[in-house]
Amino acid sequence: MTDYKYKTDLPVLLPAAKRLARKDERDAIWGFGLMRPSGRQLSVFAIFLILITGVAEARSPDNQQGIISILIEWTPFLFEGFLFNILISAMAMLLGTVLGGILGLMQISLIPSIKHSSWFVTQFFRNSPWLCLLFFTMYMLPFEFDLGFVVIPFPDWLKAVLGLSLPIMANMSEIVRGAIQSIPFGQWEAAESLAFTRRQQLWQIILPQCV
């Protein structure tokens, strides 16, 4: 990687310039502002964890389960829950992105009722706290839908996906609306003069420039 930020014609400054360039390379690998731990620091941290675990194991009563056996027993369940949380997050992002794209297109609609209602929905969910939306979907929505001839269950993990997707939907809606409105209006007029329909203008001319 060639970087001219630390180039200098003064020989006395060359060592410092090389050190700064190496520091930038480390920051690019480890991330800006992220401290790179040394081998000694990692060793001290590992020894500290071992000592804490040993002390906790030694102080546990004989009739109680030790901390090591507890960790061995519960680690698979915790790991399974961790993976399930990642799955819920991915599903929420996917659902929020799809719904947000649709809602963003509705915000540029020429029909006033659709435009204003979609704007209200976007601003409401965009400014609502995520935790409140999650609690609302978890406790206010039913656990099943009884349609008379069939009962459809509505599990808690699906409620969590819905609750987390609502603010994602609102933010994605604003991104789509802003991207479309950033295109100069003259392109809409030029496409209209060439007899393009509103849908053709949007899908063939405007949206490809927003990606």
Band of pLDDT at residue 117, cut at 50, 70 and 90: very high
pLDDT score for 211: 76
pLDDT score for 12: 53
CB 152 within 8 A of CB 144: yes
Mean pLDDT, the chain, rounded, equals 81
CB 105 within 8 A of CB 118: no
**Spatial CB neighbours of 143, under 8 Å, sequence gap ≥ 6:** 153, 154, 155, 156
Could you give the 3-state DSSP secondary structure of residue 157?
A: helix
Say how far apart CA 163 and CA 169 lie, in whole Å: 10
Tokens of 64: 């109680």
pLDDT exceeds cutoff 60 at 205:
yes
Sorted by where each starts, the structural domains of the chain and their CATH numbers stand as 77-210 (1.10.3720.10)
CB 55 within 8 A of CB 130: no
pLDDT exceeds cutoff 60 at 32:
no
pLDDT score for 83: 93
pLDDT score for 105: 92
- What would the pLDDT profile of 167-185 be if each residue is shown by its tens digit? 999 999 999 999 998 888 8
pLDDT score for 101: 93
pLDDT score for 69: 74
pLDDT score for 164: 93
Say what percent of the chain tops pLDDT 90: 31
Cα-based torsion angle of the residue sequence 184, 188, 193, 195 in order, rounded to the nearest 10 degrees = 150
- What would the pLDDT profile of 38-93 be if each residue is shown by its tens digit? 778 888 888 887 887 777 666 666 656 666 677 778 888 889 889 999 999 999 99
pLDDT exceeds cutoff 90 at 125:
yes
Give this prediction's pTM. Answer: 0.65
22: closest CA among 43, 47, 39, 5? 5
Say what percent of the chain tops pLDDT 70: 76
CB 177 within 8 A of CB 108: yes
Tokens of 52: 């804490």
pLDDT score for 78: 87
